[in-house]
C-alpha cells in the first residue's frame, strides 16, 4: 500500500499509512482492512453496549495503492459481526479508445502501467496506480534534493532517513515544489512560471479503466470476526479493526465509454433507424436512389440532348 501523498504534512495520516504497509491478507477474499470509528470512548463501553450502535465506515483512498474510493456510510453493526461487503463498480472502454496510443488518450491500461514490464520495475512499484506514481515521483524528487527521505516507505527501505535537524530545513524548501505537478512543455494554457516550478512526472498518467467500491449492507455469511472485548477495545484507542469482504462473483456494473462514432457505427445506427421507422433497409434505400437517378436522366438529360440536337444547323449535301 502506498504512503500518504503529502510529505511534509499530515503526520497522523503518514503513521496510519505506514501501519497499514505490512497488512496483506485479512479475511477469505479481501486483502483489505479498514478502520471502524465510533463516537463513544471504547474504554468506557461494556461488552454488550455496542449492539446496534451506529458507526461510520470510511476507506481512505490516500492510503490505498488501488485508488479505491468508498464514501462513509452509517450502518447499524450487529453485535459480534464487525464485517461488511464491498460491491465493485467498473468502467470499461471500447476498442476505439484502446487502439489509440497512451499519449493521445491520456491514460494507461493495466498492461501498459510502468512496473508491469521488467525494464520499468526498478523505478516504479509493481502495483502501479496514478496516485502511487505521483507519490513515488515526489519521493524521488525529495530524495534527489535532500539526499534523504522524511520517513521510510517500508521497514526495509535502503534509503537514508533525514535527521531531525535537517528535515525542517530541506523539506520546508521542497514542500512548495512537490505540491504542484509541472505540465509538459507541449501542453498549452499554463503560465511560464508553471512550466519551471513543480515536480515533473511525465509517466504518471491516470488509469483508463477505473473501479470503485460501494458498501453492501448485507453481512457476510462466512468468516465473520468476533468483536473485541471491552478491555481489548480500550487498547485500540478508539480504532477497531474491521474485515472487508468482496462477494464472489463481484457484482460489477459494466458500461462503455466511446471516443467517437466510426463510419461503420454511423451506417449501422442510421440504417437501423431507417428500417425501424421507415420500413426500409439499406438495399431498398439504394434501389430508391437508383430509380430517382434514372427518372432524372429521362426527364432532364435526355430532353436536353434532344433539344440541343434539334438546334444544330443542317449540313448541306454536296
158 and 40 in one domain? yes
Q: Does residue 317 fall inside a structural domain?
A: no
| 180-237 pLDDT, tens digit each | 667 666 555 566 776 777 777 766 766 666 555 555 555 444 344 444 444 443 333 3
Q: Does residue 228 fall inside a structural domain?
A: yes
Q: Does residue 316 fall inside a structural domain?
A: no
189 and 103 in one domain? yes
274 and 203 in one domain? no
Q: Does residue 5 fall inside a structural domain?
A: no
Whether this prediction's pTM lies above 0.75 is answered by no
62 and 209 in one domain? yes
Q: Does residue 304 fall inside a structural domain?
A: yes
Domain holding 302, by residue range, is 263-311
| 250-274 pLDDT, tens digit each | 333 333 344 455 556 666 666 666 6
305 and 220 in one domain? no
296 and 156 in one domain? no
pLDDT, residue 304, reads 73
252 and 267 in one domain? no
Q: In the chain, how many domains are there?
A: 2
Between 75 and 147, the more confident residue is 147
Question: Per-residue confidence at 126, pLDDT binned at 50, 70, 90?
Answer: very low
| 272-316 pLDDT, tens digit each | 666 666 666 667 777 888 888 888 877 777 777 767 666 655 555
305 and 209 in one domain? no
Between 41 and 154, the more confident residue is 154
Q: Does residue 193 fall inside a structural domain?
A: yes
Work out the mean pLDDT of the chain and round it to a whole number.
54
C-alpha–C-alpha distance, residues 77 and 227, integer Å: 10
132 and 228 in one domain? yes
Amino acid at each position: 500500500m502506498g504512503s500518504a501523498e503529502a510529505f511534509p504534512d499530515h503526520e497522523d495520516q503518514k503513521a496510519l499509512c505506514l501501519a497499514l504497509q505490512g497488512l496483506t491478507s485479512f479475511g477469505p477474499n479481501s486483502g483489505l482492512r479498514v478502520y471502524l470509528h465510533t463516537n463513544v470512548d471504547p474504554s468506557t463501553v461494556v461488552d454488550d453496549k455496542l449492539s446496534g450502535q451506529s458507526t461510520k465506515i470510511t476507506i481512505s483512498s490516500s492510503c490505498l495503492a488501488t485508488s479505491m474510493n468508498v464514501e462513509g456510510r452509517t450502518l447499524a453493526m450487529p453485535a459480534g459481526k464487525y464485517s461488511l461487503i464491498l460491491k465493485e463498480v467498473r468502467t470499461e472502454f471500447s476498442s476505439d479508445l484502446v487502439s489509440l496510443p497512451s499519449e493521445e488518450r491520456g491514460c494507461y491500461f493495466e498492461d501498459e502501467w510502468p512496473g508491469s514490464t521488467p525494464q520499468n520495475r526498478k523505478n516504479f512499484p509493481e502495483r502501479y496506480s496514478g496516485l502511487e506514481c505521483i507519490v513515488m515521483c515526489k519521493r524521488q524528487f525529495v530524495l534527489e534534493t535532500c539526499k534523504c527521505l522524511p520517513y521510510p516507505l517500508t521497514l526495509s527501505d535502503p534509503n537514508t532517513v533525514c535527521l531531525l535537524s535537517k528535515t525542517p530545513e530541506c523539506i520546508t524548501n521542497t514542500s512548495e515544489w512537490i505540491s504542484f505537478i509541472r505540465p509538459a512543455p507541449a501542453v498549452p494554457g499554463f503560465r511560464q512560471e508553471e512550466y519551471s516550478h513543480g515536480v515533473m512526472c511525465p509517466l504518471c498518467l491516470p488509469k483508463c479503466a477505473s473501479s470503485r467500491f460501494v458498501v453492501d449492507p448485507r453481512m457476510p455469511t462466512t468468516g465473520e470476526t468476533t468483536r473485541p472485548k471491552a478491555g481489548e477495545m480500550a487498547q485500540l484507542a478508539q480504532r477497531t479493526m474491521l474485515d472487508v469482504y468482496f462477494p464472489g462473483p463481484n457484482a460489477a456494473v459494466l458500461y462503455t465509454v466511446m471516443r467517437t462514432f466510426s463510419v461503420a457505427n454511423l451506417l449501422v445506427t442510421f440504417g437501423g433507424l431507417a428500417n425501424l421507422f421507415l420500413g426500409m433497409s439499406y438495399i431498398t434505400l439504394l434501389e430508391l436512389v437508383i430509380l430517382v437517378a434514372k427518372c432524372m436522366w429521362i426527364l432532364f438529360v435526355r430532353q436536353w440532348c434532344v433539344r440541343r440536337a434539334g438546334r444544330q444547323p443542317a449540313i448541306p449535301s454536296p
